[in-house]
Amino acid sequence: MLKKGLVGGAIALMMAATPAAAQTVLKFQGSATAGDFVQTVFEDWAAKFNAMTPDDGLKIEILPFQAVVPYKETLEAAAAGLLAGDMQAVSYFSGRDQAFSILGDLISGYDKPEQTWAFCQHGGGKEMLQEAYDSIMPGQLHVVGCGSFTREALVSTIPINGVEDLKGVRIRSPEGLATAVFERAGAAPVPLPYSEVFSSLEKGVIDAADASSYANNSATGAHSVAKYPLYPGIHSMAVLQLVIGKAQWDKLSANEQVMLEVWYGAMHHDLTHRAEIEDKRLVAEDLAKGDITIIDWPQAERDALREIAVEAWEATAKESELAAKALNTHYDFMKRIGLRK
């Protein structure tokens, strides 16, 4: 009994002297601003991930737009370990190679966000995106997943009822195909980060904005100054991504890697459905109030814009071999699902 008591005491002392396992917190910087619809969903799902893991296990935190570094510097921050990774729009990096433009938002290319998710996850999109990152930062980044969650609405301070009405419109547009399409349609794109959309609309710096989902635009107050939103959206299904620093990815166990992949897929699908439900709820409320004019383009106008968009796809694909390969990857997938002959 004495020996057992001594052994038990020794084990207790050893456990007390052994430090608890260091908790790993992966901090990702997103493209949503604090308090908006998408950020609240991100934070909700970060909490779900953290609840599923042990107290001393892997945790995640999704930071708002530009919380740590400017939005164009997240890749370097992830590679250096300042951030775990990036959860922004792929098209933010179009200035590095036009492949990111084509992969980030094939304007008017798909009919619903589920198709872009299928392209990314099962149609070669994720692999193509990984190749694009390896071309600019070899071996420094790992693509966990990607896809669109909504067909974005367009906020406007003036009525835009068709392609002809886009001529001369000062419209906020991120870098990439959206800018090329708007230019070909006769608009005057202005490159601004999403965080500056509201103030720019309010001050008259821009007339309209390629911004986000109807719900997200409503949450930021955009509809209080831009009374002519276009819904359903006419053009954009911006692709968001989860990219992690390769060194950080390699430190994760095989179980943790799978956990992160499965979590991202579940979060993304939930965001897609919640955004659609919230969009329709807010549209119905705004229509009932009558202080906002919601514009729904007829199919003929949508088709006309798509023709312009296809011209922009082809022109952009000629700017680099990687961009051409990215567009062909889209085409191959479109044929498989019946969107292209």
Domains contained in the chain, CATH given:
24-149+237-279 (3.40.190.170), 154-235+292-336 (3.40.190.170)
CA distance 23 to 57: 6
Q: Once rounded to an integer, what is the mean pLDDT over residues 126-152?
A: 96
Residue 74 DSSP symbol: H
Q: What is the pLDDT of residues 80-112, one digit of tens each?
A: 999 999 999 999 999 999 999 999 999 999 989
pLDDT digits (tens, 9 = 90+) for 300-315: 999 999 999 999 999 9
Confidence tier at 17 by pLDDT (50, 70, 90): very low
Residue 151: band (very low, low, confident or very high) from pLDDT cuts 50, 70, 90: confident
| Cα 5 from Cα 10, distance rounded (Å) | 9
> What single string gives the DSSP state of each residue in 140-191?
TEEEEEEE------EEESS---SGGGGTT-EEE--TTHHHHHHHHTT-EEE-
- pLDDT of 21 reads 47
pLDDT at 249 over 80: yes
The pTM score is: 0.86
Q: What is the pLDDT of residue 163?
A: 96
Nearest to 211 by CA among 323, 97, 105: 105
Selection from 167, 176, 199 nearest residue 72 by Cα:
176
- Look at phi and psi of residue 330 and say left if phi exceeds 0, alpha if psi is from -120 to 50, else beta: alpha
Question: Could you report the per-residue pLDDT of 18-75, keeping only the tens digit for each?
Answer: 334 457 999 999 998 898 889 999 999 999 999 999 999 999 999 999 999 999 999 9
